[in-house]
Structure 1
């Protein structure tokens, strides 16, 4: 029986809108532990990590709340790395998307130590590839992709140690569902050769073809990490997010993504972030998140024999 470790990170220090700090407990209320146990996992809920509060300060030197973001990501890094070292599958429950710097840095260090290939699928309405020079707000939840590629402050790019390489190379991450991107982010993504399946590509090719392409290089020696921002979905489906953007994937398209990810058999870790109960309607976005996670971890609606 695989042990699934739930790691709550109740903070919105990297975000532009308050409320994502309540995300982990909303997922618990929506029945995340019970749902994962029904999928056959030994579920261990580590509770919520501790970290600094949100000072709601103005940007300084291109960042808002850098010290607080660094402290939270250090806690996430250590909890995720400990779970992986223990042979468990960590599920980070955010919190805002800046926390993926900590979780993915830990996964990258774990994979380097074991000689395993790492592939990250980043589901998001945004590219999250701003730098302090390009960010209009200084909000760090808009910078994690850049930080993971080594473009950011040392407090975030060197979580694995002062001499550690960047957590990711550009060929290790694929962005899916993107539809709101700054001009400077477009240049960053293109200059670094990051694979992107934006919404126009999904519209043109269909979600099945996009997921087949995104998973084409995933094999039995690949550790697959899924970083899922709830604002990837269309806000008509998932209203409980801080930075919703119209024109995202439907419920059924997203379910197909999750089922195809489960079918590939390579999932080793995951993030579920940017769930904002303060903007939700009767916790429906949290319930949707649990529904999607059930599919990611093996629940299938498929009637035909597999």
Structure 2
């Protein structure tokens, strides 16, 4: 795992249906993300916040809200993530809404193509984010980034990074999904996306889920985690704009993060959709930082070896 980390704040809710995710980066800083990571012996640089257009809060135009502004924010993020990877640093993107996964993951995919690495994306989310303008009347692009990364959508968005599609659907593993529109579900199946929804987790358990999601990785795999805070059950993480009941518990989420850490392959991370305006005393940000710490070595494991029976 990379020991040189760069925090990149992206203070925008340009792709969302509710205001407030623009304050997410500061809430994560207030919750101590830098000092927590440094306590594990990591070299952490906070690059501050990227700049981009303000949110005009307009109705959709031709099926997309704020298309030009979303393109600009994601292009800026794409270049910032590429720059960190080129310096052999691990970018941690502090969102911001999840439309930003487009800029972040397209940059990671580009880096993998240029360096001959295999890519694996873990998409931790309540939503599949595989909508298109034809499927959603809202036009909110934070419900579309996975579809856009897989080439479904307008060229200004699908072409960020210079290659369309930016990724093959086969590199993605979605975990915690529990809210998918009917048309979106059809598109997900057609694309061949691998989805471990909450029913799967309920039936098989988080350990088996993560074993399946992480299967097939090797020393040449770049593991990217895109963590939408609404992945978590809203009982423990109320500070998001799109709460969906029935998400992973605290312990399930911890196990998920610890098993990712065990691979030693984590190379880039998004933390998205934290909305302090809807939070209670920064509780959700503190929980997010707690879980991020588990990605970097904090463990509940007291035994010398984990049981494998």
2:148 aligned with 1:144: no
Aligned to 1:100: 101
Aligned to 1:90: 91
CA distance in 1 between counterparts of 2:171 and 2:291 reads 24
CA distance in 1 between counterparts of 2:14 and 2:160 reads 18
CA distance in 1 between counterparts of 2:37 and 2:54 reads 30
2:307 aligned with 1:298: no
CA distance in 2 between counterparts of 1:168 and 1:109 reads 9
Q: TM-score, normalising length from structure 1?
A: 0.98
2:174 aligned with 1:204: no
User: How big is the shift at 1:129?
Assistant: 0.3
CA distance in 2 between counterparts of 1:28 and 1:61 reads 37
Aligned to 1:268: 267
Aligned to 1:288: 287
Aligned to 2:247: 248
Q: How does 1:81-230 map to 2 (within 5 A)?
A: 81-161=82-162, 164-230=163-229
CA distance in 2 between counterparts of 1:299 and 1:71 reads 36
Deviations 1:173-208 (A, max 9, x none): 011000000001100110111100000000000000
| Unaligned 5+ runs, structure 1 | none
User: How big is the shift at 1:297?
Assistant: 1.3
Aligned to 1:46: 47
2:23 aligned with 1:22: yes
User: How big is the shift at 1:165?
Assistant: 3.2
CA distance in 2 between counterparts of 1:296 and 1:154 reads 34
| Unaligned 5+ runs, structure 2 | none
User: How big is the shift at 1:292?
Assistant: 0.4
Deviations 1:80-132 (A, max 9, x none): 00000000000000000000100000000000001110000000001100011
CA distance in 2 between counterparts of 1:137 and 1:217 reads 37
* Structure 1 SS opposite 2:174: strand
2:4 aligned with 1:8: no
CA distance in 2 between counterparts of 1:37 and 1:58 reads 43
User: How big is the shift at 1:136?
Assistant: 2.2
CA distance in 2 between counterparts of 1:11 and 1:149 reads 23
Q: TM-score, normalising length from structure 2?
A: 0.97
- Number of matched residues? 304
CA distance in 2 between counterparts of 1:217 and 1:132 reads 34
Deviations 1:15-36 (A, max 9, x none): 0010000000000000000001
Deviations 1:197-235 (A, max 9, x none): 000000000000000000011111100000000001000
Aligned to 1:34: 35
Aligned to 1:238: 237
* Structure 2 SS opposite 1:141: helix
* Structure 2 SS opposite 1:287: helix
CA distance in 2 between counterparts of 1:297 and 1:80 reads 19
